[in-house]
Amino acid sequence: MRGIDHATSDLTGSAGARRGSGIRPGPIAAIRRLLLRNESLRGYLLLSPTLLFVFLMLVVPVGGIVVLSLFTQS
């Protein structure tokens, strides 16, 4: 059990050591703790580049075609 506690404290960085000193940890430490706690958020973070690519290469052009098709020629 003791080895697991050391591994967990190493992953959280120095934010755990600063808790008792009254200094607030920075936003990066808060994001790191959130990602370590929430496995589904890590999954979405891994999918985000792919979803961005699909959005830019598929949804935007199809949306442009739909918008252009609704205009009438005068």
Cα–Cα dist 12/33, whole Å: 6
The predicted structure's pLDDT at residue 31 = 84
pTM value surpassing 0.85: no
Q: Among 5, 12, 7, 6, which Cα is nearest to 35's?
A: 12
The predicted structure's pLDDT at residue 49 = 93
pLDDT tens per residue, range 20-67: 566 777 888 888 888 888 888 888 888 999 999 999 999 999 999 998
Residue ranges per structural domain of the chain: 1-37, 48-74
Which residues, 6+ apart, have CB-to-CB distance to 9 below 8 Å?
Answer: 16
Tell me the chain's radius of gyration from C-alpha atoms.
23
Biggest alpha carbon–alpha carbon distance for the chain: 77
Inform me whether the pLDDT recorded for 71 exceeds 90: no
